[in-house]
């Protein structure tokens, strides 16, 4: 049943016959109800569905990073998550249908014009810990600032778990030690890093730091 929430000339919400009304992003939208089809999906449609499920499922655990990371580059009426999924669908899927996999080296959690961290290094020398370091930037560089906040993303494929440290340290710190769950010991993890301006108006492109085995 449809409901007129803003008078006779306003939009409606809910189902009315074969139409469906909703209020989305300050707009009244009316959509035709989808029709059921008895046609089996094509091979191409199945491939797209498999890729979409793989990428969106993987990225869904990193929403807190992705929203600021893609919010500045998304298209109008597109969410940051949708922009991130669309990008990674194009570049970060490997393998052959139906055995698609994530190409971790190509995954991007943020996209922007803020200067990336320079000469980043990461080591797994201590138990269940990652040690990050990067070079101090020369003063006066226009696309970065000492107060930029650094975020680190770690993904454990064996356990299908993310550990995210968001805005944990300033760029000027040039180092960060990240504690991981003890049961990560012996597992391989995928590691990423990025920076964000304090006011949130600029974000760097996320950097893939490689695969490490946790001690």
* Short-list 145, 207, 143, CA closest to 172: 145
Domains and CATH numbers, the chain: 3-32 (no CATH), 43-213 (2.60.40.10)
Per-residue pLDDT, averaged over 145-173, amounts to: 97
Q: What is the pLDDT of residues 170-187, one digit of tens each?
A: 999 999 999 999 999 999
Helix, strand, or coil (residue 111): coil
Q: What is the pLDDT of residues 110-146, one digit of tens each?
A: 999 999 999 999 999 999 999 999 999 988 888 999 9
pLDDT of residue 52: 97
Q: What is the pLDDT of residues 13-43, one digit of tens each?
A: 667 666 767 766 666 677 776 666 678 889 9
Residue 116 contacts residue 202 (beta carbons within 8 Å): no
Q: What is the pLDDT of residues 65-100, one digit of tens each?
A: 999 999 999 999 999 999 999 999 999 999 999 999
Q: What is the Cα 176 distance to its own chain's centre?
A: 22
**pTM, full prediction:** 0.82
31 Cβ neighbours under 8 A, 6+ residues apart: 19, 20, 21, 22
Per-residue pLDDT, averaged over 186-191, amounts to: 98
Helix, strand, or coil (residue 47): helix
144, exposed or middle or buried, with CB in 10 Å at 0-12, 13-18, 19+?
A: buried
Whether residue 3 is predicted with pLDDT greater than 90 in this model: the reply is no
What does the alpha-carbon distance between residue 133 and residue 193 come to, in Å, rounded to a whole number? 11
pLDDT of residue 39: 84
Q: How confident is the model at residue 60 (pLDDT cuts 50, 70, 90)?
A: very high
Whether residue 168 is predicted with pLDDT greater than 70 in this model: the reply is yes
């Amino acid at each position: 049943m449809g409901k007129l929430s803003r008078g006779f000339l306003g939009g409606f919400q809910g189902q009315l016959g074969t139409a469906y009304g909703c209020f989305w992003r300050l707009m009244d939208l009316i959509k035709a109800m989808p029709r059921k089809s008895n046609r089996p999906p094509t091979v191409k449609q199945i491939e797209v569905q498999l890729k979409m499920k793989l990428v969106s499922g993987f990225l869904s655990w990193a929403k807190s990073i992705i929203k600021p990371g893609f919010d500045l580059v998304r298209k109008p009426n597109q969410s940051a998550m949708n922009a991130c999924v669309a990008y990674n669908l194009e570049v970060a899927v490997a393998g052959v249908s139906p055995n698609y996999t994530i190409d971790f080296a190509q995954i991007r959690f943020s996209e922007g014009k803020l200067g990336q961290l320079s000469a980043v290094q990461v080591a797994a020398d201590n138990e269940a810990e990652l040690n990050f370091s990067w070079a101090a930037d020369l003063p006066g560089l226009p696309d970065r600032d000492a107060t930029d906040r650094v975020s680190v993303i770690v993904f454990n494929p064996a356990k299908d778990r993310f550990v995210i440290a968001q805005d944990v340290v300033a760029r000027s710190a040039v180092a960060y030690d990240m504690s991981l769950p003890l049961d990560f010991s012996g597992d391989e993890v995928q590691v990423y890093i990025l920076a964000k301006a304090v006011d949130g108006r600029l974000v760097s492109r996320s950097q893939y730091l490689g695969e490490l085995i946790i001690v």
